[in-house]
Amino acid sequence: MPTLRLALSQVNPRVGDLSGNADLVRSWTRRAADAGAQLVLFPEMMLTGYPVEDLVFRRSFIAASRAALERLAADLAADGLGDLPVVVGYLDADGPPQISGDAEPGRGARNAAALLHRGTVVARYFKHHLPNYGVFDEDRYFIPGDELTVVRIGGVDTALTICEDLWQAGGPFAAARQAGVGLVVNINGSPYELNKDDVRLPLVRRRAAEAGATVAYVNMIGGQDELVFEGDSMIVTADGDLLTRAPQFVEHLLVHDVELPAATTAPGSQSVADDMRVVHSIVETIPPAPTGPAAVGGLIEPVADEAEVWQALVLGLRDYVNKNGFPSVVLGLSGGIDSAVVAALSVDALGPDRVVGVSLPSQHSSEHSREDAADLAKRTGLDYRVEPIQPMVDSFLANLSLSGIAVENLQARVRGVILMALSNQEGHLVLTTGNKSELAVGYSTLYGDSVGGFNPIKDVWKTLVWRLAKWRNADAARRGETAPIPENSIGKPPSAELSPGQLDSDSLPDYDVLDPILIGYVDGDLGRDGLVESGHDPAVVDKVLRLVDTAEYKRRQSAPGAKISMKAFGRDRRLPITNRWREDG
């Protein structure tokens, strides 16, 4: 049986940076060549970044993607890498955008993969299954392909597929079996969700069995607005054996020697399989089989849930800040658990010299909260400042007759004004610190504590915030480092401290009661009856659902934040603001 040395390039592209992404392909292909690779794989839409959203509708962008692909093929050859086959994702089109007046049925923008060899594009493949759920809108953007591209590489028939092709039975993988391929390449832009790695391996095994072939699965890493891509690239045999698996959340070149069956069909033949036309081509020459020991990529075991989420949040924050060109971040440090976790995440993502924490005490801020904020700053080394807000609040109250919740909201809005002023003056990105539980029930002040350009814990339930804090401190202890989060911030009852003796439990059920209801309603789409049948108190359910339903207008105005759950607020969950339907009747 032939042996191919595969190199899976788990890299971090940037949306719209065609030249920078092409340079990534060139540099990582050089690394793969130095490792003796005979076939190099890059992620879905590598050249353009993913997802490109409505950039698809710009013909100039599509033309630039196609030109960048041709230029990349030539540059790889000029780099002395022409004999090494490279699979790369890009944006293509064989007709006008579907939204244009001159659109043609069955033609338009394509989510595409290309095989580059000896300075040319040897083969192209158009994604067949287009996801249209959750964060995906690919039916809006792309036309599905109806051909399976099979390329003979080193004597092995290799089928090209893209991301969602793996998540649905039939189509390309069924066609690959009928075509008798030995290897299926699957290039991905598969966003992170907690425990998705536990789903991914069984899924790759099912598709490998369906195709009767080894599957090489490569996924990108990096943050793109709300999405985080964690990598987790792997190679799985037709029998379901996991040969190698890459680490999560880091760029990585996974190089592994794979024994594959020799091709038996006549090259250049075409056939129809599972409603897909199979198109064959051949790569005449590839680098010779390396001498010496076999390349073994190794197996990376999944980490604990809290470690996985922490890495995802750090990566999402780091890439949002860096890819958008912000020099630093600023956030309000209340001494509470949410701002403490956001501060620790920020320091891990950017370093303490790029994080500004501001204590914004009022007359209702407890001494222990001020001390906890200062303690966190000392533990992490971030730039710590104190800006008392009471004189500014008093100036407003001297000119406005306000009481009750209006005064509470005024304090939050003064804090927001100060943070935005520092942002304008010094160039920081303001981070907001509201967790998913608060966002769900509207427990925030518009233009106050909700002010910010990014929210690192937007998709983190309050109970998980506590778990993350405890995990991060324990992880620091294991490494002999200072725990970043004060124990007082973890242990004390949560409070907005906007009125005397205020606690979150004055307005909300305890978070141990609240979060399971919210998870069922928001993530699971359970109605009132389903929640009550699950054992929740009907009166509490009714109260929580009213809070969630009436807070939709607030969530529409909230800052983006990294998605880590199956249903994040934003593109995952789209409900009308003006909506009379209520689950409690």
How does DSSP assign 177-237, residue by residue?
HHHT-SEEEEEE--B--TTHHHHHHHHHHHHHHHHTSEEEEEE-EEEETTEEEEB--EEE-
> Annotated catalytic residue: which of 70, 104, 138, 163?
163
| 70 is a catalytic site residue | no
3-state helix, strand, coil in the chain (%, to 5): 40, 20, 40
Query: Looking at residue 502, what DSSP letter applies?
Result: -
- Distance from C-alpha of 310 to C-alpha of 469, rounded to nearest angstrom: 10
Kind plus residue range of the DSSP H or E element containing 473: helix 462-478
| Entry field: residues in the chain | 585
| Rama region for 330: left / alpha / beta (φ>0; ψ in -120 to 50; rest) | beta
Kind plus residue range of the DSSP H or E element containing 469: helix 462-478
| 583 is a catalytic site residue | no
N-to-C CA span, the chain:
66
Beta-strand ranges (E) seen in 405-490 are 429-430
Strand order across the beta sheet in which 86-93 lies: 120-126, 109-117, 86-93, 39-41, 3-10, 252-259
> Annotated catalytic residue: which of 53, 70, 104, 127?
127
Helices (H), 324-399: 337-350, 367-380, 390-399
Phi/psi of residue 393, each to 5°? -60, -45
Q: Which residues are 126's β-sheet partners?
A: 112
> Annotated catalytic residue: which of 44, 210, 230, 497?
44
Cα dist. 261→3, 233, 280 in Å? 9, 22, 17
| 163 is a catalytic site residue | yes
Tell me the residue type at 397: L
Closest CA to 219 of 188, 194, 250: 188
Q: Which two tokens stand for residue 10?
A: 């788990």
Residues involved in catalysis: 44, 127, 163
